[in-house]
Amino acid sequence: MRKQAIFVLTIAGLLCTACAEKASKEQMAQADRLIEKSQKERDYNRLISLADSFENEGSLSHAKADYWRGYASDRMKKMRMAEFYWKTSLETASMSEDEADLETYAMSASRLTNLLSVRGDYEGALKAAVPVAERLEALKCDSTADYINLLIYIGCCQAGLGQAGSAAIDGFERAYKKHLDNIEKHHDDASYKNAIAGLINIAYYCLFAKDYKNALEWTDNFGEVLKEYQQRPDVSEEYVDKQLARFDIYQAQALEGLGRKEEAAKVYEKFQTTLFSKTPEGRISANDYLVAAQRWGEAADNYRSLDAMLGNNEDAYTLDNIQELVLKKYQANILAGRKDSAIAVSLQICDSLEQAFDRADKIEAEEQAAIVRKVEQLGEQQAQAQKMKQMALLSVIGLVFVCVIIFMVYRRITLNQLRSAYRRLESDFKQVEADTRNQTLIDTERLIAQDIAAATPPIALPQHKDLNIVMSHTPGRMAGDSLHDLQLRGDNLYICIGNAAGKGAKASAATAVILAQLRLALNFEQEPDRILNDINKVYTRVGEMEVKLFLGVLSLPTGQLRYSNAGCMAPILVGEEVSQLPVTDETPIGRQRDHTFSMQETTLGKGIKLLLYSDGIVETVNEAGKPFGEKKLRGSTLQAVKMSRQLQPFFDHLLEAVRSHAGDVPQDNDQTMIVISR
C-alpha cells in the first residue's frame, strides 16, 4: 500500500508540475501577444505599463521587461531612459545562459550600441558591444539578426573612431557574409530585409566617415542584394521603390565625394524617377547629395517638405530636429540667396525654440526622476534577494548617478549652445528687419504672414449624428490675422474663433501660437474659462500682440453651451428671432497676465443656429470704403433665415450678402464664418 501511495503521489506531482509549466508558458505567450500588439499600435505608455505588470506577476523576465521599457522610451525620444533600461537589461541577461535571455541579451546590446553610435559616443558603444559579441560567439549564438546588426554597429563605431581601413571593414565583411548565409539558408522575406537594412547602415556610416571608396563598394553590395530581392513574387513595390531610391542617393553621394560629379548627377536624375523621391522624406534625404554638390537652390526647394515630414505635431520640433534639420533649412535658403524664405524659417525657429527648450527640460526632469525611481526599485530587489551584494549594488547606484550627472552636464551644454545659436539668429533677424524697413518690408511681411497661414492646414469639420456645421474661410491679403478651430471630444464640440489685434507677420504668428496653445490645453482642461486662463498665462510671457478670442463647449446630447469671451464680438443666435449671444466683454488674451476669465452658460435648442464670425466679416469694405458692419450683418441674417431655414441655403444667402457688399474690392483681413446647429 505504501509503494502504491508513493507511486500515486509521484504521478500527481509530475502532473501538477506539467500543468504549472503549461500554464506558465501560456501566460508568457499571452504577455508576448499583448506587448506585440501595443508595439504595433505604437502605444508606448501602455507598453511600459504592460512590461511593469507582467514583470511583477512573473510572465516576463526582468531582462526582457527592461528591454521593452527601453524600446518604448526610445520611441518616445527619452534617450537617457532608453540607455539606462537597455544597460540594466544587459546586466541582468549577462548572468543567464537561457535561450530566451540570450535573445534579449542580443536585442538590448544591438539597440544600445546603435543609440550610442548615433549620439557619437563610439568608445562607449564599443565598450558595451564588444563583450556581448564575444560572449554570443562563445555560446554559438552568432547567427541571429540582432548579433549580425551588432557586428555592423561595432564596425560603424570603429569607422567613427578612424579605424575604417582595418577592424571596421573586417566587421562589415563578417556581417555581410552572415547575412548572405542566412539568405541562402532561409531564403525568406525577413532574411533579405535584414541584409538590406544592414548594408544600408554600413553604406551610411562609410559616407558619414567620408570613406567614399568603401561607401561606393558597399552601396554596390546593397544594390546586388536588392536586385535579387526584387525577383521574389511577394515583394512590396513601395518597399522596393524606397530602397532603390536609397541606393541611388547613397551612390550619388559616394560619387560626388570621389569627384565624379557628372556620374553623380546622372545617378541623382535616376533617383528622381522613384516614387519615394516625391515624398517629404525622400526630398529631405535627397539633400544629403544636393548639399554635397552645393546645389543650394534645389536643396532649399526640398526643405519645403520638412514640415510635412515632421508633421503638425509640435513635439516633432525637438532641439535635435531644430539643430539637425531646421537650421540646415535656414542655411540652404541663405546660401541659395532666398532672404524671404530664410526670414520665414527664422521665425519658425523662434516660435519653436522656446517650446523645445521647455520640452527638453521637462523630459530631462522626467528621465532623471524615472531613473532614480528605477534605481531605488533595483536597490530594494537586490536588498531582498541577496544582502551580500549590497556593496556591488551601491557601486551600480553610484555609476547611475554619475551617468545622470554626466547627462545633465551634457544636456546643459547642448541647451546653452542652442540658446547661443538662438540669440545669434534673433540678432541676425533684427538686423535684417532694420535693413529692410521700407516699402519692401510691407510686401515681405505680407508674404511671411501668408506662409505662416499656409503652414496651418485647414480644419476638418467634425462629424456627429447630432451636429450640422457649415463654414467659409477666405484669407485676406494680410493672411493669418484670424484663427478658428472645431474639435470634437466625445459628445462635446469645442468651438473657437478670434483674431489678432493687428495685421502682418506678427499677427499671423500670434494666432498660430494661440491656436497651438489651445490644442495643447484641450488635452488637460475641459472648461472654457480655465483654458483661456492657461493660454493667457503662457502667452503673456512670449506674445507681442493681443488676441481676441471666443471659446465655447457645446454638449451635443443636451444642447448646453458653456463659453468664455476674451474681448471677441458676440456670436449670433438664429431662431424665430435673431439675437446676439450675451457675453461679457472681457480683456483680450495677452493684455493682463493675472486676469481671470469667467464662464457663462446657455442652451442651444434643436434647430437653433449659432453664427460665429471673425472681425473680417463686419470689416468687409466696398468700393466706397464703407464697412459691412454688425447692424447690416444682423439684418442680412434675419433676411437669410426668412428666405430659408435650412442650414446650407441660409448660409449661402448670408455669405452672398457679404460678398455682394465687397464686390471686387480685395480685403486685407481674413473672412471666417461658421454656422452650427443641433
Domain assignments of the chain as residue spans, ordered by start: 450-677
For 143, the 3-state DSSP assignment is coil
Instruction: Provide the pLDDT confidence category of residue 143 given band limits of 50, 70 and 90.
Output: confident
**Cα dist from 207 to 108, 160, 176, 202, 440, whole Å:** 26, 11, 18, 9, 43
DSSP, res 35: H
Q: With contact defined as beta carbons under 8 Å apart, do 519 and 552 qualify? A: no
The pLDDT of residue 79 is 83
Phi and psi angles of residue 54, each rounded to the nearest 5 degrees, phi first: -70, -30
Say what the alpha-carbon torsion angle 138, 141, 146, 147 is, to the nearest 10 degrees. 30
Q: Name the grid cell of 514.
A: 494661440
Interval 204-233 mean pLDDT: 89
Instruction: Provide the pLDDT confidence category of residue 15 given band limits of 50, 70 and 90.
Output: very low
The pLDDT of residue 176 is 87
The pLDDT of residue 8 is 46
The pLDDT of residue 604 is 93
For 94, the 3-state DSSP assignment is coil
Instruction: Provide the pLDDT confidence category of residue 660 given band limits of 50, 70 and 90.
Output: very high
Query: Which range, of 195-204, 211-220, 430-439, averages the lowest pLDDT?
Result: 430-439
The pLDDT of residue 384 is 61
Interval 169-180 mean pLDDT: 84
Interval 43-72 mean pLDDT: 88
Percent above pLDDT 90 for the chain: 28
Say what the alpha-carbon torsion angle 23, 25, 31, 37 is, to the nearest 10 degrees. -120
The pLDDT of residue 14 is 46
Give the best-scoring range by mean pLDDT among 178-182, 361-365, 422-426.
178-182
Exposed/middle/buried for residue 436 (C-beta within 10 Å: 0-12, 13-18, 19+): middle
**Cα dist from 646 to 54, 59, 552, 640, whole Å:** 57, 60, 23, 10
Instruction: Provide the pLDDT confidence category of residue 441 given band limits of 50, 70 and 90.
Output: very low
DSSP, res 621: B
The pLDDT of residue 600 is 94
Instruction: Provide the pLDDT confidence category of residue 452 given band limits of 50, 70 and 90.
Output: low
For 38, left (φ over 0), alpha (ψ -120 to 50), or beta? alpha
Query: Which range, of 317-326, 413-422, 460-469, 559-568, averages the lowest pLDDT?
Result: 317-326
Interval 558-572 mean pLDDT: 94
Residue 666, pLDDT > 50, answer yes
Q: What is d(CA 148, CA 109) in angstroms, rounded to the nearest whole number?
A: 11
Which of 227, 223, 228, 224 minimizes the C-alpha distance to 248?
223
Which is more confidently placed, 391 or 40? 40
pLDDT digits (tens, 9 = 90+) for 357-370: 666 566 666 656 66
E runs forming strands in 322-418: none
Interval 60-83 mean pLDDT: 87
Instruction: Provide the pLDDT confidence category of residue 17 given band limits of 50, 70 and 90.
Output: very low
Which is more confidently placed, 282 or 339? 282
Q: What is d(CA 26, CA 426) in angstroms, rounded to the nearest whole number?
A: 60
Residue 437, pLDDT > 70, answer no
pLDDT digits (tens, 9 = 90+) for 531-546: 999 999 988 887 778 9
For 219, the 3-state DSSP assignment is helix
Instruction: Provide the pLDDT confidence category of residue 151 given band limits of 50, 70 and 90.
Output: confident
Exposed/middle/buried for residue 323 (C-beta within 10 Å: 0-12, 13-18, 19+): middle
Q: What is d(CA 152, CA 175) in angstroms, rounded to the nearest whole number?
A: 6
Query: Which range, of 25-39, 451-465, 482-496, averages the lowest pLDDT?
Result: 451-465
Q: With contact defined as beta carbons under 8 Å apart, do 493 and 464 qualify? A: yes
Name the pTM for this structure: 0.48
Interval 385-403 mean pLDDT: 73
Instruction: Provide the pLDDT confidence category of residue 16 given band limits of 50, 70 and 90.
Output: very low
Interval 320-349 mean pLDDT: 76
Interval 320-340 mean pLDDT: 77
Q: CB count, 10 Å around CB of 202?
A: 27
The pLDDT of residue 220 is 93
Which of 288, 225, 230, 229 minimizes the C-alpha distance to 257?
288
The pLDDT of residue 447 is 56
The pLDDT of residue 342 is 72
Which is more confidently placed, 128 or 676? 676
Query: Which range, of 59-73, 349-363, 432-446, 570-584, averages the lowest pLDDT?
Result: 432-446
Instruction: Provide the pLDDT confidence category of residue 130 given band limits of 50, 70 and 90.
Output: confident
The pLDDT of residue 429 is 64
Burial letters 642-657, b for 16+ CB under 10 A, else e = eeeeebeebbbbbbeb
Q: What is d(CA 370, CA 88) in angstroms, rounded to the nearest whole number?
A: 13
Q: CB count, 10 Å around CB of 381?
A: 12
Instruction: Provide the pLDDT confidence category of residue 435 given band limits of 50, 70 and 90.
Output: low
Residue 21, pLDDT > 70, answer no
Which of 205, 208, 248 minimizes the C-alpha distance to 113?
205
Residue 2, pLDDT > 80, answer no
Q: With contact defined as beta carbons under 8 Å apart, do 196 and 149 qualify? A: no
Interval 42-50 mean pLDDT: 88
Residue 166, pLDDT > 80, answer no
**Mean pLDDT, the chain, whole residue set:** 82
pLDDT digits (tens, 9 = 90+) for 484-502: 999 999 899 999 999 998 8
Q: Which helix (H) or strand (E) holds 230?
A: helix 212-230
Residue 147, pLDDT > 70, answer yes
Residue 476, pLDDT > 90, answer no
Q: Which fold has domain 450-677?
A: Phosphatase 2c; domain 1 (3.60.40)
Residue 378, pLDDT > 60, answer no
For 301, left (φ over 0), alpha (ψ -120 to 50), or beta? alpha
User: What sign does the dihedral 185-188-189-190 (CA atoms) show?
Assistant: negative
The pLDDT of residue 529 is 93
Interval 247-268 mean pLDDT: 93
Query: Which range, of 19-23, 33-37, 324-328, averages the lowest pLDDT?
Result: 19-23
Q: Which strands sit side by side in the sheet containing 572-574, from one edge to the other?
A: 468-474, 671-677, 609-613, 572-574, 578-580
Which is more confidently placed, 310 or 145? 145
Q: Name the grid cell of 510.
A: 500670434
Q: With contact defined as beta carbons under 8 Å apart, do 458 and 431 qualify? A: no
Query: Which range, of 9-23, 374-388, 394-408, 440-454, averages the lowest pLDDT?
Result: 9-23
The pLDDT of residue 9 is 44
Residue 445, pLDDT > 70, answer no
Contacts of 331 (CB under 8 A, 6+ apart): none
Q: What is d(CA 627, CA 617) in angstroms, rounded to the nearest whole number?
A: 9
The pLDDT of residue 362 is 65
Could you write out the three-class secondary structure of 268-282? Answer: HHHHCCCCHHHCHHH
Q: Where are the alpha helices (DSSP H) in 231-279?
A: 237-257, 261-271
The pLDDT of residue 320 is 66
Q: What is d(CA 27, CA 112) in angstroms, rounded to the nearest whole number?
A: 28
